[in-house]
Chain A
């Protein structure tokens, strides 16, 4: 069975600082990994995904994530955040055995302060 752990429930940072949102997963087979962003009172929007190949994945809004198989991690990073990045971020995992069902982490609230 799959599971996802987002290690920080809240991450406060100052504008223009770098940020890392941490995600660890467990799965016994090859996985697909996703990061979604949710702005207040809206649905989730796909930021980026890892399917195979290069372990560094670039997404929208300047975010990137690195797949680390040995550490079973898929941390999300941005070198310089903006106020508009304030949102909740969800990590998710799926694999071929699960069909297309995603397992979500509990989310990380990123708050960017001026």
Chain B
């Protein structure tokens, strides 16, 4: 079955370390997205990518970086510049330019700074 896989499900990071969250999809979707979720704040867009080798900043890109070297993969790196990285991170994908399809979401990664 097609879907999106996020790994790991739980991740612990020491202050000052970079960590990379994995997101892989086998839906052949063009677009991929990263969201951050904090209690009571809904979903906030970090980065999105419409095609391979191209990506755009979302609303809260500072302290994060991404790459899109393959259509199936869109990893997110949380850098040491992100001052408050503890959150639930969601990856999603969609067909770009087809607004009526909506998104397919992964099951999320919970990152905790220790």
Contact = CB atoms under 8 A, between A and B. Distances in A.
Interface residues of A, number: 26
B42 A106 contact: yes
A104 interface: yes
A94 B103 CA distance: 11
Nearest to B102: A34
Contacts, number: 63
Contacts of B96: 99-100
B61 to A, nearest CB: 15
B99 A43 contact: no
Interface string B45-71: 000101000000000000000000000
Interface in B86-114: 88, 90, 92, 94-103, 105-108, 110
A107 B94 contact: no
A99 B105 contact: no
B43 interface: yes
Given A43-B108, A46-B102, A106-B42, A99 B90 contact: no
Interface string A76-114: 000000000000001010111011111011110000000
Interface of B: 4, 6, 31, 40-43, 48, 50, 88, 90, 92, 94-103, 105-108, 110
